Amino acid sequence: MAEVLLKFEREDREGLVAVGSYLIDAAKRFGIDLTDSAGSDESLQSDSVIVIKGSEHLSSLTQVETEHFSKHGRRENERLASQARIESAGEIVIMTNEKKTAEEPVTDDQSEKYKKEFTELPLEKKIATLVQLEAIALGETFSFIFNSPYLVFDKVIDVMAEFGLKKEAAAKNAGRPGEHKANEPKPKAKPAGKKASSKPDAAG
């Protein structure tokens, strides 16, 4: 099977990938999640990547990519990883988008600030705030109680895992570019077995 050396520059990961793989699937195999990329730029689709090297080893732009880039503009050698399929052996180098910055955790200084603000509130507002917090906590408790019966079915979900994987694979294939589906080889039909003769054997 033909393979390509695929490198992800930002994550400093590389490996051999079979020809016919999509960039988004290859990224997942390397432990790279493209869904939380693109930062705060709304024009960038989550699976958007830049092909630094080896664009000639990828499939041509699909209709989905053409429409997306026509609407949002296209950076040099930009591709959508879910649409770009590896077509030939060689070397491909990819640059992913920057990850979204995680929300800053509440620091001790912020905690002290909240405590001070609460302390300075009038008694009526303190009571109102506590009532609101209790209502939120009570609502979460009811939500947990309501959903807890579903935990009983964990074993059933495990049994259905194989079915789920098959369904996921079918959904993935359904989402592939139409241009690529037309080129995929169709499974050969099995030769029909010989039919049993309906005529009675001749008497000996």
CB 94 within 8 A of CB 189: no
Exposure string for 70-101, b = 16+ CB within 10 A, e = fewer = eeeeeeeebbbbbbbbbbeebebbbbbbeeee
If we measure between CA atoms, which residue out of 94, 77, 80, 9 comes closest to residue 44? 80
Per-residue confidence (pLDDT) for residue 52, from 0 to 100: 96
Q: What residue ranges define each of the domains in the chain, with the CATH number in brackets?
A: 3-96 (3.10.20.30), 108-180 (no CATH)
**Which whole-number Å values give the CA distances from 10 to 7, 50, 52, 95, in the listed order?**
9, 11, 11, 6
Q: How confident is the model at residue 136 (pLDDT cuts 50, 70, 90)?
A: confident
Q: How confident is the model at residue 182 (pLDDT cuts 50, 70, 90)?
A: low
DSSP 58: B
Q: Is residue 191 predicted with pLDDT exceeding 80?
A: no
Per-residue confidence (pLDDT) for residue 90, from 0 to 100: 94
Distance (Å, whole) CA 30 – CA 13: 7
- Of residues 124 and 73, the one with the higher pLDDT is 73
Q: Is residue 13 predicted with pLDDT exceeding 50?
A: yes
Per-residue confidence (pLDDT) for residue 2, from 0 to 100: 87
